[in-house]
Amino acid sequence: MIGNLSALMLGVMEGLTEFLPISSTAHLVLASDLLGIAQSNFAKTFEIAIQSGAILAVLALYWRKFLDPAVLKKLLAAFLPTAVIGLAFYKLVKTYLLGNTAVILAALAAGGALMIAAEYAFKNRPGGSRAAKEAAVIGPAPARMEEVTYQKAFSVGLFQSVAMVPGVSRSAATILGGMLLGISRETIVEFSFLLAVPTMLAATALDLLKNLDAFSSAEFSVLAIGAAASFVTAIIGIKLLLRYIKKNTFIGFGVYRIALAVLVTVLFLGR
C-alpha cells in the first residue's frame, strides 16, 4: 500500500522527471522498489494517474497554445498513432512490462547510449557546431510551430509510441525523434510538452476507467496527493529543461541514464 508520505515523494519525483528525457516511469518504479512498495494493480495505476498533475502544469503554462487551431491539428496528427498503438498494447505493457525492473534498466541504458550517439550525429551535421556555439552565446531561437508539418507530427507520434516501453522516456523519444526529422531543438521540446497533454490524459483516463471500481476512497486520496505534488514540481521541471537547453546538449542526460542503470543494477545484484 502506498502511504501519504510515499505518495508525496513519488509525486515530487514524477513532476521533476516527467518532462526531462530520463523516464519518469523508470524513476517511479525504481523508487517504489527501494521504498518497498509492491507493484500491485493500484501501484501501477498510481504511477500512471499522477501524470494528471503534469498535464495541468503544461495547461497552466501553455494554455494559449491550445487555443490555436493549427497547433491542435498537429497535436491530433501526432496523437493518433500513439492512441492506436497504445490501445493495442495496453494490456501487454501494464501486465508484463510496467514494473519489470530488467526491462526498465535495459531501456534506460540503451536510451542513454542512443541519446549520446544522436547528439554527436547532430553535432556533425553541416552547421551543427556553429549553431551550438551561437545558442550558447545568445540563447536559442523561439519555438516555431510551422516547422512541425503534419507528416512530421505524425512521425513524432510514432516515435512517442516507443515510449510505451517503461524506461524509454516519452520526452526523450519525441525530442530525439523530432530532431532526427529536422525540427529545431527548441521547437520540438515545446511540441513535446504540448503533446504530453492528450497523450497522458488518454493514458490516465483509460487506466482509471478500467480500474475505477477496484479502488477505495483512501486510495483516491493517495492519488490526489501524488497528482498535486506532481503539478507543482512539473512546472519546475519544465522551466529547468527550458533553461538547460539554452546552453547544453542532451549528452548529460544520456550519461545520467546509463549511470543510473548501472548503479541500480549493482544495488540489485548486491541484495
Alpha-carbon distance of 192 to 48, in angstroms, equals 18
pTM: 0.86
Q: What is the DSSP letter of 168?
A: S
Alpha-carbon distance of 27 to 258, in angstroms, equals 13
Assess whether pLDDT exceeds 50 at residue 130. Answer: no
Alpha-carbon distance of 228 to 29, in angstroms, equals 19
Is the distance from CB of 89 to CB of 52 less than 8 angstroms? no
Assess whether pLDDT exceeds 60 at residue 156. Answer: yes
Neighbours of 98 (CB within 10 A): 23
Please report which confidence band the pLDDT of residue 62 belongs to, taking 50, 70 and 90 as the band edges.
very high
Poorest-pLDDT segment among 10-19, 52-61, 138-147, 158-167: 138-147
Alpha-carbon distance of 43 to 47, in angstroms, equals 6
Burial class (CB within 10 angstroms; exposed 0-12, middle 13-18, buried 19+) of 216: exposed
Once rounded to an integer, what is the mean pLDDT over residues 14-21? 94
Once rounded to an integer, what is the mean pLDDT over residues 41-69? 90
Domain of residue 236, residue span: 4-269
Give the number of domains in the chain.
1
Grid cell locating 54: 503534469
Is the distance from CB of 193 to CB of 241 less than 8 angstroms? no
Q: Give the model confidence (pLDDT) of 231-265 as tens digits.
A: 999 999 999 999 998 888 999 999 999 999 999 88
Is the distance from CB of 70 to CB of 132 less than 8 angstroms? no
3-class state of residue 84 by DSSP = helix
Assess whether pLDDT exceeds 70 at residue 194. Answer: yes
Q: Between residues 107 and 218, which one has the greater pLDDT?
A: 107
Is the distance from CB of 16 to CB of 226 less than 8 angstroms? no
The H-assigned helical ranges of 169-216 are 170-180, 185-211
Q: What does each C-alpha distance from 206 to 8, 87, 186, 203, 250 come to in angstroms?
A: 23, 9, 31, 5, 32
Is the distance from CB of 21 to CB of 50 less than 8 angstroms? no
Neighbours of 263 (CB within 10 A): 12
Is the distance from CB of 172 to CB of 107 less than 8 angstroms? no
Burial class (CB within 10 angstroms; exposed 0-12, middle 13-18, buried 19+) of 64: exposed
195 Cβ partners below 8 Å, 6+ apart? 75, 78, 79, 156, 157, 160, 174
Which residue in the block uniquely carries the three cell numbers 541514464? 257
The CA-CA-CA angle for residues 157, 150, 69, to 5°, reads 100
